[in-house]
Structure formats: C-alpha cells, structure tokens
Structure 1
C-alpha cells in the first residue's frame, strides 16, 4: 500500500512539474513573440515622403475599422489618368506604415491604376498600441479590401494586390477570404506567420527555437483564429488570381526557403504563376541605391564631425534634432524618393494589365 501511495504522489508531483514547465515555456514564448512582433512602428520623420514629392499625384484620406474596432488610416492615390483597376497595397514590417512605399503608389497611379494604401494596426497614422502579431496583417488587408468594395467611396474596378515582405505574405494569404482578386504581386514574402518566428528565432537561439515554436503557433491560433493557420499556399488554392512571386536568393530577412522555394516547387509549371528571382539584391530591390549609398557615406562623415558622443543616452534628444536638421538640409528628395527600378515596375504594370484587360474584354464581349 505504501509503495502504491508513493507512486501516486510521485506521478502527481511529476505531473505538476510538467504542467509548470509547459506553462513556463508558453509564457516565455509569448514574451519572446511580443518582443519581436507586438511593437508599435513609426516612420522616420526625417525621411517622410510627401505627396508633393511626386508630380501630379493626388490623394484622399480615409479611415476604416479593423477587427477590434481600431481605426486604420488609408489613402486613395490618383492622377488625372483614368484608371482601369485598383491596386490595394500592403506594406512591410518594422519601418512604419505605407509611407515608404509612396513611390510605388505613384508609379501605379501614373500607369492606369488608382491605389489604396493604408497603415496596418500599430503603424503610423493607424490606431493600436502594437501590431499584435503577423496574422494581423492579413486581417487588416481583409478589412481594407472589404472597405474598398463596400464603402461606396471607390470606383467599381477590378482589384489587384501588391505587397512586400509582411505585405507579401498578407496579399497571398488573404486570397482565402477574397478569391475575387484578379492578380497579386508578392515581393520577398513568406508562406506562414510562424515561419518568420522560426527564421528570426534561429538567428538568436539556433535549433532551440523548435522547443517553443509549438507554443507560438498555439498562441497565434488562440489570438487570431483561422487567420493564424491560414497560409499563402492556402490562398493560392482558394483563388484563380494571377500570381507573380519575386525573391532574391540572398535575402537574409526572409530566406527564400520560407516562401519562394515552397511556391516554386508546387506551381513552377502552372501558367497563372510567374516567378522572378534575383541572386544578390537582398530584401529590398525596388530602387536604385546609388544615391542612398552616396548620402549615407556623407552622413557617416558628418557623424565624425560631432563634438559629442551621440551613442550616450543623455545626448539622444540632441542628436535626434541634429540628425533631422542635417537630413532636411542635405537630402535631395527628388533623387531619394524617385529612384524606382522602372523596368521592374513596368513588368508589374504589364502583369496587371494582362489580367485586367482580359477581364475588361470578356465583360465587354458578354455585354454585346
């Protein structure tokens, strides 16, 4: 009897220990997740793009609610040119909202499209103490597309999507909820939200990341429901949209194996997919970086002339002001904000046009 009682006690103790260990791992996972992804992001004021930086570009501000009632701010970008489609843009993670993609919006707006670009939850002009997590990008895009379609503020035109990085994941995954979208361009994206936690975690913890990855997936599932488990591949299977996938094989922010390689393996022979890969263009390959590099070199020289240590906390406010003053006085806004790879964006427009014009022609034929 005593032996059996001791065994029962031992089992109970071990069970309690296991529960505590699991609870501890779960709590640790949530803390690490929030530190990496649940932050608020603001665009660098010194490099804020203004609509006046782009000839002929106009914009109208809108606000719309996302899943928890938080107000998101978006802008409809237009020109005098009559559009034949609407590009809904989803921005990347960590640099603030859509402002750094205004040059992309400008190009599309001058080449046959009006553009709706918004700041996701926890970014720039939109509400939210933090992003919350990567599935929030899919949620916000879902609500943005619905706003474009149902608010009555936008022309009734075919919708296409454009996204980079976090936005690249979002524009693909959201197809599950919006199969009516006609075409998607996804740059440097990833297949699932947990993939990015794995990619970032391996840099910091090596293979130890796999011990907490199941808890991260559970946390996201509890917080975001089906949005968390929905992937880009799920979106592809639920949609007939034309898909263009771009990635650079040396991308260290989003390694190609978490997105491009997965898609290519399944869809390389599918005519509705177009794949473009680069060898050495990193995570961002929209712009000619010549002027940026020149400016950064001059900025580094300026840093050496400062008569105080700008890395010391007590000099933080002083340096922030001096830095902003230097940038405002020396930045050539025309060169910095109008440096898109025009050949690449010409391909983007051609890809959209091919799909949109096909839709327009078929609709006209139906009416006749």
Structure 2
C-alpha cells in the first residue's frame, strides 16, 4: 500500500511533464507555422498594370527619408508641397510597398496634402527578412511617428492617417497613442490580429481553429513581447474621440466584413465619432476592389479572366517554366491594358474621404 502511494505521485508527475512537453511542442509548431508564413513583400520584377512612381516622377518630386523600426531601416518619402498645412501618413497593405498606392497618394497630394508614405518592415525598399506579422504595421507606424516628432518641418503639422488592409489596422491602432492626429481612415483593415490569423488558418485547414486562440496569442507574445502582443484596433479607437472612417467591401474575401473587420465589432465601439462606409457595388466590394473606379471594374475583370484562361492552358508544366509563362502572360496583359483607365482612382470614395477629413478639421 505504501509502495502504491509512492508510485502515484511519480505517475502524476510524469503525466504532467508529458502534457507540458506536448504543449510546448504544439505551441512551438504553431509559432513556427505562423512566423514562417510571413515572407518579404517585394515589388515584382516584371511589368504590372499598376503605375509606379516613375509614371509621376517628372511632375511630382519626392523627398526620401529613412528611419528605424526596431533594427530595420525603413525607407519613406514625402510627396507634395512642403508648405502644405496638412500631413497625411499612409500605411500600405501586406505583401506590397507604398508605391502600389501611388495613384491614391498623388490624388491626396493634388488635394493639398503633404503625404508621408513608407515601405514597412520586410517590404519594398525597406530592410527586414520578413514582414514579421499582422501587428508589425502598427509598430512601423509608431516608428514613423517617432520620425515625425523628431522633424522640425513635420512635428507641428496636423496629422491625418490612412491605410489599407495591414495598413488599415495600423491607422486605427494608432489612435490615442500619438499627438496631433485629426482623423483616420481605415480601408479594409482588421480589428484583432489573432482573429485574422485564426480565420485564415481555419480556411487553409478546412476546420475551425477558434479553440486554439490561446496558442495564437502565445505566438503573438513570443513575437512582439508582453507590451505589444494584445494591441488591437477596438481598444485604440475607444481610447479617444478622434474621428475615424471605417471603409469595407461587403464581399471582402481577405478580411471578412462580418467577422474580422473593425465594423464587425461596431457594437463594442464607444468612440462617438466613428463613421462607417460599406461598399456594395459589384467589382468594388472586395478587398482591393474598393480602390478601383467603377469605370475600370469591367476592364480589370476581363484582363483577369484572360490571364486565368491562359494559365489554364499551361497547367502541369514544371514550376520554373510555369513561372516563366506567367510572367510572359502578365507582360501581354500590360500591353493589352488600358493603363490610364485601370489606374483611375475611385474618386467617389476619395471625395467622401476628403469631405470626412474636412469635417474633422473644423
């Protein structure tokens, strides 16, 4: 009997150790899977239908700036009149750089804004082995504000924020954290990074991973530390009465309007100056479509349809040859495209954004 009593604690201890080691292994695998899914977001080295800065260069000079975000130097640019009395800080989406939004940036310059746009960590012209994760855009925007506050030319200007997707999250999460913010616009951003990770992971795995949210939060903790890992848009929006416009397409395939967007948490928002704009027009109501003009939608759809048809004819080729053919087809797409039409800004949306900013300035 005494022997059995001595054995029982040992068995329990062994079981606890095995469970703990299993937990560590599962957490480690989860963290590895999450972190390695974020690679660099470089500009493509083949022709694309979107304009880059070189299209505007002769009429719109820019000033390059550099600042640190963590250990990485980020490259950014100031576009527009240095005597402008409004500073717009623009944060781009994941997997690209700010020049993917050069049309929108120039539109805001023409509207009288000095625009500060930069490539985030692991993106475009900036340093970084990867984009790190869904919270990194907020840390990069923190670093951009450090640069602004250190600049005699910028530190006293009223600041307006705008961002798309990854950058939309940054624009909302910055509220209440920095001085001089007059208003912000979130274009298809998300509310909670962990929720988006779970949603995308669930789609990839074909099963609901909501029960594993604790593990996703641990992964965020390991990446960003105890001070940052729970940062989210909802708490930041509620920490201030700064006006914010939430824009989202009702058929967003990347960041679900009803589940992941900030609008999905509207019943939790206490900021009295939150406005929402849900885009429902076909072709303009998905993740990137909200930036397309109505006139460009059918042309873009036809180009994508033709590209997909061509790719279907070469399925089964070796990967390298398949990539080469894809680049060839993209070149043909650029040649066939009506570039001025495709690069036309969604003026209906941006006129509402300008009106929102003007109202917030009064």
TM class, shorter-length: 0.7 to 0.9
1:366 is aligned to: none
1:229 is aligned to: 230
2:353 is aligned to: 348
Deviation readout 1:18-71 (Å, 9 max, x if unpaired): 0121011101211221233x211112332263334348333222111112x200
Work out whether 1:283 is the aligned partner of 2:287.
Answer: yes
- Give me the whole-angstrom Cα distance separating, in 2, the residues matched to 1:22 and 1:266: 33
Work out whether 1:27 is the aligned partner of 2:32.
Answer: no
Work out whether 1:258 is the aligned partner of 2:260.
Answer: yes
- Give me the whole-angstrom Cα distance separating, in 2, the residues matched to 1:33 and 1:340: 34
Deviation readout 1:45-99 (Å, 9 max, x if unpaired): 32263334348333222111112x200011111159x5231110111112x1112
**CA spacing shift, 1:260–1:76, aligned 2, 3 Å:** same
Greater alpha carbon shift after TM alignment, 314-323 vs 97-106: 314-323
Alignment of 1:1-368 (within 5 A): 1-36=2-37, 38-45=38-45, 46-47=47-48, 49-54=51-56, 56-67=59-70, 69-78=71-80, 83-94=84-95, 96-154=96-154, 156-206=156-206, 208-225=208-225, 226-256=227-257, 257-267=259-269, 271-279=272-280, 281-284=285-288, 285-288=290-293, 289-300=297-308, 311-316=317-322, 318-319=324-325, 322-323=328-329, 325-327=331-333, 329-337=335-343, 339-356=344-361, 358=362
Greater alpha carbon shift after TM alignment, 8-17 vs 309-318: 309-318
Shift of residue 16, structure 1, vs aligned partner: 1.6
**CA spacing shift, 1:21–1:50, aligned 2, 3 Å:** same
Shift of residue 179, structure 1, vs aligned partner: 4.7
Shift of residue 351, structure 1, vs aligned partner: 1.0
Contact kept in structure 2, 1:93 and 1:166, CA below 8 Å: yes
- Give me the whole-angstrom Cα distance separating, in 2, the residues matched to 1:355 and 1:244: 10
Aligned length: 349
Whichever structure has more helix as a proportion of its residues is: 1
**CA spacing shift, 1:206–1:113, aligned 2, 3 Å:** same
- Give me the whole-angstrom Cα distance separating, in 2, the residues matched to 1:6 and 1:244: 64
Contact kept in structure 2, 1:97 and 1:123, CA below 8 Å: yes
Contact kept in structure 2, 1:176 and 1:238, CA below 8 Å: yes
- Give me the whole-angstrom Cα distance separating, in 1, the residues matched to 2:356 and 2:40: 34
Shift of residue 329, structure 1, vs aligned partner: 3.6
Contact kept in structure 1, 2:39 and 2:130, CA below 8 Å: yes
Deviation readout 1:298-340 (Å, 9 max, x if unpaired): 4456657x8x668422414643653454345444432222x22
Contact kept in structure 2, 1:138 and 1:227, CA below 8 Å: no
- Give me the whole-angstrom Cα distance separating, in 1, the residues matched to 2:265 and 2:113: 27
Shift of residue 137, structure 1, vs aligned partner: 0.8
1:361 is aligned to: none
Where do 5+ consecutive residues of structure 2 fail to align? none
Q: Alpha carbon RMSD of aligned pairs, Å?
A: 2.5
Contact kept in structure 2, 1:254 and 1:283, CA below 8 Å: yes
Where do 5+ consecutive residues of structure 1 fail to align? 359-368
Contact kept in structure 1, 2:80 and 2:115, CA below 8 Å: yes
- Give me the whole-angstrom Cα distance separating, in 2, the residues matched to 1:41 and 1:161: 22
Shift of residue 223, structure 1, vs aligned partner: 2.5
The DSSP-based 3-state class of the residue aligned with 1:189 is coil
The DSSP-based 3-state class of the residue aligned with 2:228 is helix
Shift of residue 167, structure 1, vs aligned partner: 1.1
